[in-house]
Structure 1
Amino acid sequence: MRNLQSIDYSVVFNDGFEHLVSLLEERKYDKVFVLTDRNTGEYCLPVFTKLMPTDFSYDIIEVDPGEENKNIDFCIGVWKMLLDFGAERNSLMINLGGGVVTDMGGFAASTYKRGIDFIQIPTSLLSQVDASVGGKTGIDLDSVKNIIGTFTQPQAVYVHTDFLKTLDRRQLISGFAEMIKHGFIFDGDYFQALKAFDFENPSAELIHRSVEIKNEVVMEDPKEKGLRKILNFGHTIGHAVETYSIENDSDPLLHGEAIAIGMICEAYLSHAYKGLAADQLAEIVQYIQSVFPAYELKSASFDALLAIMKNDKKNVGGKIGFSLLTEIGKCSFNLYLEEDKIKEAFTYYQSL
């Protein structure tokens, strides 16, 4: 399985961290820090350190898990730990974890002393195929997802599929949402291949193809001025549903579960306003429903969801922006819809 070259760093697959060892020997960082959350500290850190040389020296920084903790308060805690441990501009942060760790760790590193090097080691399926690739860092503010952040490239990304063995099925299915999104927006044949995905034995080849698709899009448009916006399919509504669920549900939706709802709603909008064929809408909806649990989208939540969407960073001139499908495997962007049309999508989801 070949490694990928992104903007100015390598995405390395299943090499036993040989590339990382060579990078550390070459760069001669004065200090190395490993950022984890409690879960990855318990389950993934031992897997990582077992593969590293016995003299690998680092300081550990641990944060609480969960999207609700990806905020400035926890980021301040990371900065203080770096300060207390004496991190210099020639220090390195290794972010070992899911999307929360890689997003927040990348942001903390990119801003500490105006930027120290960081490396991403994504341990969840979601972070392997999405959050760790592309140079976006970010934290949430007042429940608005990723509204504070930078475009800063890591020194390298290491994708090791053995980490997936530490995940339960719900987490794997959540990450799978981003994989099928890549098929919907870029490669219809890939979407068809994903129908054979085995959650008991995840295919490294299919994961590699997902990362490859995202990397290809990012390489063409690093700063999200054009094509990269197609990666937002399902996310305008999905992020709002995720935020609403975190604030109101006793068992909040995971990111991918919310994005699955967003993709159904935005596939409906694609059919209604961008010409996606009815049979392809049906195929998308049927497949998503076969993988992801149903969610009760209450009519009383519609106005709250729209209020959340009005703060989305993709909006222009106060208009809510979308990326919508023209067919499975092709996506358009810079589309703006009125609130009554967006509510149509909510109602459509309720009808299923």
Structure 2
Amino acid sequence: MAKAAILEKPGEGLVIGDVEIADPAPHEVLIDTKACGLCHSDLHFIDGAYPHPLPAIPGHEAAGVVRAVGSEVKTVRPGDHVVSCLSAFCGHCEFCVTGRMALCMGADTRRGPDGPPRITRADGSPINQMLNLSAFSEQMLIHEHACVAIDKDMPLDRAAVIGCAVTTGAGTIFNAANVTPGETVLVVGCGGVGLAAINAAKIAGAGKVIAADPLEEKRELAKVLGATHTVNALDEDAAQQILTISAGGVHYGIEAVGRQASADLAVASLRRGGTAIILGMMPLDCKVGLGAMDLLSGKKLQGAIMGENHFPVDLPRLVDFYMRGLLDLDTIIAERISLDEINAGFDKMREGHSARSVVVFD
């Protein structure tokens, strides 16, 4: 029996209740969850902007300790400290074998419709697992290809935010953008993902790192994490300010909010040959585009789901960056809360004034 935060109905918050976690199947791992970050992607499901079968347990930015493993698991052992990742990969599809693991649909990493569910209520009725993880729970039962072992000296509350925000933001810099030292990077939106992208741009040696956000306190956080310049994203001339700072436009414009105006600003700020990378989960009816002159100028537009990560390799490296003092996870975490405080944590997220909140389990 484990305590979890359950989404029963969109728009009505999460309900704290007890759930039963099944025994691990051959390729599954049972994890005692130690910390889980609150991500804006969770909020899209909680508020009903994105559909999902209910009831379900959200949460996908987590770290914990392995309690038990299935008979065929070879990647982790009981007692290992692990970070989970929602982009579980099968290892044999087209995307996996061509090195694009983050695009894997992960069909073989979930239990089939005819099999017993991983999560149930006490009466046996199933609870849907969200994004392969359902981490707002004292325990997770996941496929072995949805977690990776890390250095046991790494604090697990900091490790948790690597699982989504840092993997997405930093991965975009290192994998999707492949920033060359000296290039200019714009990050629109200074939440957890945006701050991680800013930090990674600094690590990558970007010449100028421009942070755009409406809130002054978030722009100040961005400076701590490596932004060389900041712009109020709501200024009417925000794009022109960025073009001036960057002497004609940025090499990479990264959208880390999930709003039409933010994506448009990233595109409008590009130099010739520049690339806009959209990370945020935008409303499903939104479209982002390049005009005729943008195309004639060699500009590019792309998505980068989960930072185009190769998480079994990337996550331990990000942990190492933190341990060596290069990656600043302490500034990204605004507060640590209990599972019982989770709805208040999401209320704070809706207000938009702070960075990451992390649920810490006893």
Indicate whether the TM-score tops 0.5.
no
- The structure with the greater share of residues assigned to strand is 2
Q: Say which structure is richer in helix.
A: 1
TM-score normalised over the length of structure 2: 0.29
Give the alignment's TM-score, normalised by structure 1.
Answer: 0.30
User: Which has the higher relative contact order, 1 or 2, with Cα contacts under 8 A spaced 6 or more apart?
Assistant: 2
